[in-house]
């Protein structure tokens, strides 16, 4: 069974940093691209970042470019999101999602349950 | 990249059909046949319902169907059931391994 479990969320002050993790199991993690998607309270979904299966390609939304960095460790079956210079508007639930892009298919077939990040003083 | 435009809400009685539109531009929905739809119940993670405009993953009821014309994609739920009450989001590939989601639509079963 495919499982994605996010962790690392919490309360952080504006300007602070946080590193989110996503632990994958039930599939060959190194064969799949991965993404981070977030959802602000009461708002819609927002795509944030993509990383290819071998981490050779990464892309991010303009809203987080230069502040957030996606990475992965295929040996540990884990995906990460390093978030710096956090702002109040970054408050959201952060989801990791499996991507089929490396198979020339562009959609998210499995999602984690999300981890809440709150940016507040 | 601006969010795709969806109606804020749609509603229907059990057994009826509802259609949710998803309007993008020529550089996302209009050019790629990679529109997907996600169902999200309150407090839950999104669930894939439709991919590649009109394909259903295994386990998704066939009363969910998708289509696209020009810059607008649509999700139709036929034979509406109580458990279909949820938020629905469209998503389009936008090139260069980037994606754009829709604004979201709340489906209410009357």
User: Residues A41-65: pLDDT tens digits?
Assistant: 999 999 999 999 999 999 999 999 9
- In this complex, which of A47, A105, A111 lies closest to B101 when CB atoms are compared? A47
Residue-wise pLDDT for B57-106, tens only, equals 999 999 999 999 999 999 999 999 999 999 999 999 999 999 999 999 99
Q: Which residues contact B20 (CB under 8 A, 6 or more apart)?
A: B6, B7, B10, B74, B75, B76, B77, B88, B90, B105, B107
Q: What is the DSSP string of A16-78?
A: --EEEEEEEESS-GGGSEEEEEEE-TTS-EEEEEEE-TTSS-EEE-TTTTTTEEEEEETTTTE
How many angstroms separate the Cα of A82 from the Cα of each of A66, A70, A72? 11, 6, 11
A-B contacts at Cβ under 8 angstroms: 70
pLDDT given at position B103 = 97
Question: Would you say A2 and A108 are in contact if contact means Cβ atoms under 8 Å apart?
Answer: no
**A73 phi and psi angles, rounded to 5 deg:** -130, 100
To the nearest whole Å, the CA of A16 is away from the closest chain B CA by 26
- Cβ burial of A58 (10 Å; 0-12, 13-18, 19+) is middle
Pairing outcome for strands B105-109 and B99-101 = unpaired
Q: Do B101 and A50 touch (CB under 8 A)?
A: no
If one counts every other C-beta atom within 10 angstroms of the C-beta of residue A8, the result is: 15
pLDDT given at position A43 = 96
Q: Given CB atoms, is B36 within the 8 Å cutoff of chain A?
A: yes
Closest CA to A32 of A81, A104, A112: A104
Q: Do A106 and B98 touch (CB under 8 A)?
A: no
Residue-wise pLDDT for A61-100, tens only, equals 999 999 999 999 999 999 999 999 999 999 999 999 999 9
Residue B84 structure tokens = 């279909």
What does the alpha-carbon distance between residue A115 and residue A96 come to, in Å, rounded to a whole number?
Answer: 9
What does the alpha-carbon distance between residue A117 and residue A48 come to, in Å, rounded to a whole number?
Answer: 14
Q: Do A44 and B103 touch (CB under 8 A)?
A: yes
Confidence of residue A102 (pLDDT cuts 50, 70, 90): confident
Q: Do B97 and A114 touch (CB under 8 A)?
A: no
Q: Do B48 and A50 touch (CB under 8 A)?
A: no
What does the alpha-carbon distance between residue A80 and residue B10 come to, in Å, rounded to a whole number?
Answer: 37
């Amino acid at each position: 069974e495919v499982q994605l479990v996010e962790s690392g969320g919490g309360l952080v002050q504006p300007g602070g940093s946080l590193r989110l993790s996503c632990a994958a199991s039930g599939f060959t993690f190194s064969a799949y691209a991965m993404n981070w998607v977030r959802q602000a309270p009461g708002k819609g979904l927002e795509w944030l970042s993509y990383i290819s299966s071998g981490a050779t390609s990464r892309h991010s939304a303009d809203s987080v470019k230069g502040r957030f960095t996606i990475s992965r460790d295929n040996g540990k079956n884990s995906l990460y999101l390093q978030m710096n210079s956090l702002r109040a508007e970054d408050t959201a639930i952060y989801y990791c999602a499996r991507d089929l892009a490396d198979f020339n298919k562009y959609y998210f077939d499995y999602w984690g349950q999300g981890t809440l990040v709150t940016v507040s003083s | 990249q601006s969010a795709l435009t969806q109606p804020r809400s749609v509603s229907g009685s059990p057994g009826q059909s509802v259609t949710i539109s998803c309007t993008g531009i020529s550089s996302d929905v209009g050019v790629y046949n990679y529109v997907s739809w996600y169902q999200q119940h309150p407090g839950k993670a999104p669930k894939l319902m439709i991919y590649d405009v009109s394909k259903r993953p295994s386990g998704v009821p066939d009363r969910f169907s998708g289509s696209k014309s020009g810059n607008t994609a649509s999700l139709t739920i036929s034979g509406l059931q109580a458990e279909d009450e949820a938020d629905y989001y469209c998503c389009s590939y936008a090139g260069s391994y980037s994606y754009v989601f829709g604004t979201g639509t709340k489906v209410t079963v009357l």
